[in-house]
């Protein structure tokens, strides 16, 4: 690593431009000067983040094509889908993480444990901040030819006061804190000095948010209380413990198929997990949660639940870093994520060399563009002007079939469009004109732009970008040195990103559910399945297979065996 003062470079200092910091140049660690010189001509790829998106990219990128530098405050990759299991000792925290340096080694890259705080788009510089051993902040710039932003998201506070009294479940520190608090509460509940009322409060566990994370945590907690507590804490009576789940929508797991969501609700009902639906948390106090709920007559009633532990898990929002990057680009109008085009490039950057994937990004789908292209072809075939084209229902069906083949994830929306078309058809002349169709297309596109913030999507985008970067490096050597228009090259060398939904799973307490809507497997209205022991083993097998390395797979297998033989570890972890 070489550091060059920024003043020695021919940069154009302007108001709001680069500060007088060091620029850090990276070269491969190689003693051979010839290799060093050659390798300097490889494009510099800077990756921000060590989560799902970045790791998928690093595992697919050709090791020889780029100088890779990865920046993140976390030097490990975390396998988030199994994080709820680590909060109650079913799995060990170490089994869910892989040192990032092992992954970065694959592409002969560098890892810097630091935070990216700014990007100077015009000069292709990332401002990076570190904290030294005395606690003082140090900053420097890192130049890039291509920048990948995959910095994830933060928990959405929804403006509710008192969230300092809650736990979150985003990373490994959160899981450790939760585990320690749960055990602390159990220990305190056993003390002879604890009153009955205080004991009931300490043993009241509240989960705010009925999405997959909240539901899986409640299920894991319930399993632990039922299976291990009686043996390890015989002084605590099971009836003194309560688990509550507060959900703002009408059902828990509301993005899953209705039958699966009611399976989960019934499961919780049998397990005595209290589910409050159509309920909104108003405030979290140090020892209670205040929320409103609609009663049978539709009246809003305010309730207060005493609690000794509260998990806040109500969706995600943008990090401050992503917000500040978006605020520098007038074209960015989405308040929830960085807007990218169908090639995962951040919209509005002056040089078109900044990409964003995963939770911090939202993808513009080009489904409408494709439908319009198909319609134009149809007009051309009929020898008509597209603007005056009248499309009959059967012609529309043929177009929809082609679109569905190209965008399987759009099938639900196309079905909706069919329905709308049929409704129009009832009142009108049996065909739609271009303007009417455009309006319908706008409706489906609005829905499609918000792809889910999941590991599945981040992983697919990371792999997609790596494949594209491999192509770009092969098709345009020395790309960073000439005046080639990057935007055109992206489109020329590789297809646009297409999300392929592979289904959603959730653990619901000695049972698991599998939602396969939109996967192409949902034939004949079959939208998913749920089951007990066999489903739990299937759920485990899926995640076992997806786990990041052989090392983590061995650790997972050992944890499950250990738990089956000796129960969960209910000790505080340092
Ligand atoms: P992340 O994986 O969150 O990684 C972000 C990275 O950026 C981190 O390394 C972070 O340290 C780093 N970073 C942050 N700020 C900066 C900065 N300024 N500079 C540099 N680096 C920075 N999804 C599923 O598909 N299935 C599931 O079952 C599932 N279960 C989940 C369970 C839990 C408990 C949680 C929390 C999430 C779950 N998800 C699941 C969602 C999934 O984890 C996320 O969608 C996924 O992690 C997003 O990947 P990402 O690469 O965008 O960000």
- Across the chain, how many H-helices and E-strands are there? 18, 28
Mutual angle of helices 212-224 and 172-189, in 10-degree steps: 40
Q: 3-class DSSP state for residue 167?
A: strand
Q: Which of 121-125, 225-229, 242-246, 520-524 bottoms out in mean pLDDT, i.e. has the lowest?
A: 520-524
Q: For residue 81, tell me if it sits in a domain.
A: no
* Whole-number average pLDDT of the chain: 84
**142 or 451, which is more confident:** 142
Q: What CATH number is associated with residue 523?
A: 3.50.50.100
Asked if 485 and 518 sit in the same domain, the reply is: no
Our answer on whether the CB atom of 214 is closer than 6 Å to any ligand 1 atom is no
Our answer on whether the CB atom of 152 is closer than 6 Å to any ligand 1 atom is yes
Our answer on whether the CB atom of 315 is closer than 6 Å to any ligand 1 atom is no
Asked if 272 and 395 sit in the same domain, the reply is: no
Q: For residue 109, tell me if it sits in a domain.
A: no
H helix runs in 40-194, sequence order: 52-60, 83-86, 100-105, 172-189
Q: For residue 103, tell me if it sits in a domain.
A: no
> In the predicted model, what is the mean pLDDT of residues 59-88?
95
Asked if 187 and 330 sit in the same domain, the reply is: no
**Residue 146 confidence (pLDDT) above 80:** yes
Asked if 528 and 542 sit in the same domain, the reply is: yes
CA distances from 360 to 75, 377, 569 (A): 19, 36, 35
Residue nearest to atom 16 of ligand 1 (CA): 151
Q: For residue 93, tell me if it sits in a domain.
A: no
Domains contained in the chain, number: 3
Our answer on whether the CB atom of 359 is closer than 6 Å to any ligand 1 atom is yes
CA-71 nearest atom, ligand 1: 20
Residue 526: pLDDT band with limits 50, 70, 90: confident
Q: Which two tokens stand for residue 215?
A: 């539901």
CA-359 nearest atom, ligand 1: 52
Predicted confidence at residue 132, as pLDDT, reads: 86
CA-462 nearest atom, ligand 1: 51
Q: Which two tokens stand for residue 196?
A: 């009955």
Residue 266 dihedral angles phi and psi, to the nearest 5°: -65, -40
| pLDDT tens string 336-362 | 899 898 889 998 999 889 999 999 998
If you write DSSP's letter for every residue of 286-305 in order, what string do you get?
TTEEEEEEE-TTS-EEEEEE
If you write DSSP's letter for every residue of 444-458 in order, what string do you get?
HHHHHTS---SHHHH
Predicted confidence at residue 108, as pLDDT, reads: 92
End-to-end CA distance of the chain: 35
Our answer on whether the CB atom of 456 is closer than 6 Å to any ligand 1 atom is yes
* SS3 track for 100-130: HHHHHHCCCCEEEECEEEEEEHHHCEEEEEE
Of the spans 66-80, 217-231, 366-380, which averages the highest pLDDT?
66-80
Of 518, 538, 537, residue with least CA distance to 528: 518
Asked if 8 and 120 sit in the same domain, the reply is: yes
CA-CA distance, 443 to 424, in Å (whole number)? 15
Residue nearest to atom 9 of ligand 1 (CA): 50
Domain's final residue, options 438, 463, 493: 493
Residue nearest to atom 29 of ligand 1 (CA): 81
Asked if 144 and 46 sit in the same domain, the reply is: yes
Q: For residue 189, tell me if it sits in a domain.
A: yes
Asked if 245 and 333 sit in the same domain, the reply is: no
Asked if 227 and 304 sit in the same domain, the reply is: yes
Residue 481: pLDDT band with limits 50, 70, 90: very low
**508 or 10, which is more confident:** 508
Mutual angle of helices 455-475 and 52-60, in 10-degree steps: 40
Our answer on whether the CB atom of 46 is closer than 6 Å to any ligand 1 atom is no
Q: Kindly give the distance from the C-alpha atom of residue 71 to the centroid of ligand 1, in angstroms, as a whole number.
A: 15
Q: Kindly give the distance from the C-alpha atom of residue 301 to the centroid of ligand 1, in angstroms, as a whole number.
A: 36
Q: Which of left, alpha, beta for 117 (phi over 0: left; psi -120 to 50: alpha)?
A: alpha
CA-170 nearest atom, ligand 1: 36
Q: 3-class DSSP state for residue 93?
A: helix
**Residues composing the chain:** 574
Our answer on whether the CB atom of 454 is closer than 6 Å to any ligand 1 atom is yes
Predicted confidence at residue 8, as pLDDT, reads: 45
Asked if 27 and 118 sit in the same domain, the reply is: yes
Predicted confidence at residue 9, as pLDDT, reads: 46
Residue nearest to atom 12 of ligand 1 (CA): 49
Residue 391 dihedral angles phi and psi, to the nearest 5°: -105, 125
**Residue 6 confidence (pLDDT) above 70:** no
Question: What percent of the chain has pLDDT above 70?
Answer: 80
Residue 179 near residue 88 (C-beta atoms within 8 A): yes
Ligand 1: residue of 151, 207, 355 to mutate (most ligand atoms within 8 A of CB) is 151
Of 280, 282, 251, 284, residue with least CA distance to 268: 251
Domain span at residue 466 reads 2-73+114-153+318-363+453-493
Domain's final residue, options 470, 493, 516: 493
Predicted confidence at residue 502, as pLDDT, reads: 87
Our answer on whether the CB atom of 458 is closer than 6 Å to any ligand 1 atom is yes
Our answer on whether the CB atom of 462 is closer than 6 Å to any ligand 1 atom is no
- Quote the DSSP letter at residue 475: H
Asked if 53 and 146 sit in the same domain, the reply is: yes
Our answer on whether the CB atom of 453 is closer than 6 Å to any ligand 1 atom is yes
| pLDDT tens string 431-466 | 767 677 666 666 655 555 567 889 999 999 999 999
Please compute Rg for the chain using Cα positions.
27
* SS3 track for 220-264: HHHHHHHHHHHHHCCCCCHHHCEEEEECCCCCCCCCCCHHHHHHH
**549 or 444, which is more confident:** 549
> What pTM does this model have?
0.84
CA-CA distance, 417 to 193, in Å (whole number)? 65
Predicted confidence at residue 11, as pLDDT, reads: 45
CA-504 nearest atom, ligand 1: 26
Asked if 147 and 26 sit in the same domain, the reply is: yes
Q: For residue 374, how many C-alpha atoms fall within 13 Å in the half-sphere facing its CB?
A: 22
CA-CA distance, 125 to 141, in Å (whole number)? 6
CB-based burial of residue 101 (10 Å sphere; 0-12 exposed, 13-18 middle, 19+ buried)? middle
Asked if 337 and 486 sit in the same domain, the reply is: yes
Domain's final residue, options 415, 448, 481: 448
| pLDDT tens string 506-520 | 999 889 999 887 676
**Residue 378 confidence (pLDDT) above 70:** yes
Predicted confidence at residue 249, as pLDDT, reads: 87
Q: For residue 311, tell me if it sits in a domain.
A: yes
ipTM of the complex: 0.99
Q: What CATH number is associated with residue 125?
A: 3.50.50.60
> In the predicted model, what is the mean pLDDT of residues 197-218?
95
CA-CA distance, 357 to 28, in Å (whole number)? 26
Q: For residue 419, tell me if it sits in a domain.
A: yes
CA distances from 258 to 211, 251, 504 (A): 14, 9, 13
Q: Which two tokens stand for residue 279?
A: 């309920």
Enumerate residues 6+ apart whose C-beta is below 8 A from 71.
46, 47, 48, 49, 111, 112, 114, 115, 116, 126, 128, 142
Residue 47 near residue 148 (C-beta atoms within 8 A): yes
CA-117 nearest atom, ligand 1: 18
């Amino acid at each position: 690593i070489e550091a060059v003062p920024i003043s020695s470079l021919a940069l154009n200092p302007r108001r709001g431009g680069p500060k007088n910091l060091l620029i850090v140049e990276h070269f491969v660690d190689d003693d051979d000067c010839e290799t060093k010189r050659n390798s300097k001509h490889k494009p510099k790829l800077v990756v921000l983040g060590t989560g799902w998106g970045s790791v998928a990219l690093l595992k697919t990128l050709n090791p020889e094509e780029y100088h890779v530098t990865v920046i993140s405050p976390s030097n490990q990759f975390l396998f988030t889908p199994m994080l709820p299991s680590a909060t109650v000792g079913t799995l060990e925290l170490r089994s869910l993480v892989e040192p990032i340096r092992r992954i970065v080694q694959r592409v002969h890259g560098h890892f810097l444990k630091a935070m990216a705080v700014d990007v100077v788009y015009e000069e292709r510089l990332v401002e990076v901040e570190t904290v030294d051993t005395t606690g003082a902040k140090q900053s420097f710039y890192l130049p890039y030819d291509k920048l990948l932003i995959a910095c994830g998201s933060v928990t959405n506070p929804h403006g509710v006061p008192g969230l300092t009294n809650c736990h979150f479940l985003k990373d490994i520190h959160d899981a450790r804190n939760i585990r320690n608090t749960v055990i602390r509460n159990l220990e305190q509940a056993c003390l002879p000095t604890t009153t009955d009322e205080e004991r009931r409060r300490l043993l009241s566990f509240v989960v705010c948010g009925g999405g997959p994370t909240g539901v899986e945590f409640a299920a894991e907690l319930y399993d632990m209380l039922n299976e291990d507590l009686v043996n390890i804490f015989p002084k605590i009576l099971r009836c003194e413990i309560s688990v509550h789940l507060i959900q703002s929508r009408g059902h828990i797991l509301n993005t899953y198929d209705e039958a699966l969501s009611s399976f989960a609700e019934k499961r919780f009902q049998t397990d005595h997990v209290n589910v409050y639906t159509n309920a909104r948390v108003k405030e979290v106090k140090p020892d209670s949660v205040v929320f409103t709920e609609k009663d049978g007559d539709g009246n809003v009633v305010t309730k207060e639940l005493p609690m000794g532990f509260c998990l806040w898990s109500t969706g995600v929002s943008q990090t401050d870093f992503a917000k500040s990057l978006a605020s520098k680009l007038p074209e960015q109008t989405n308040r929830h994520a960085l807007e990218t085009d169908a090639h995962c490039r951040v919209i509005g950057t002056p040089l078109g060399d900044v990409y964003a994937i995963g939770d911090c990004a939202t993808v513009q789908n080009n489904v409408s563009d494709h439908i319009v292209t198909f319609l134009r072809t149809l007009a051309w075939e009929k020898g008509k002007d597209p603007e005056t084209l009248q499309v009959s229902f059967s012609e529309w069906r043929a177009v929809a079939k082609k679109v569905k083949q190209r965008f399987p994830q759009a099938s639900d929306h196309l079905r909706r469009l069919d329905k709308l078309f049929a409704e129009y058809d009832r009142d009108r002349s049996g065909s739609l004109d271009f303007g009417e169709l455009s309006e319908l297309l706008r409706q489906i596109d609005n829905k499609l732009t918000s792809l889910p913030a999941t590991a599945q999507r981040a992983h697919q985008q990371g792999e997609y970008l790596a494949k594209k970067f491999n192509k770009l490096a092969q098709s345009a050597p020395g790309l960073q040195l000439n005046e080639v228009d990057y935007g055109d090259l992206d489109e020329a060398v590789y297809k646009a990103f297409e999300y392929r939904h592979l289904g959603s799973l959730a653990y619901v307490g000695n049972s698991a559910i599998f939602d396969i809507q939109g996967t192409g497997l949902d034939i004949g209205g079959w939208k998913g399945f749920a089951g007990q022991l066999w489903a739990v083993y299937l759920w485990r097998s899926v995640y076992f297979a997806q786990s990041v390395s052989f090392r983590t797979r061995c650790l997972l297998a050992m944890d499950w065996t250990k738990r089956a033989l000796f129960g969960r570890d209910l000790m505080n972890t340092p």
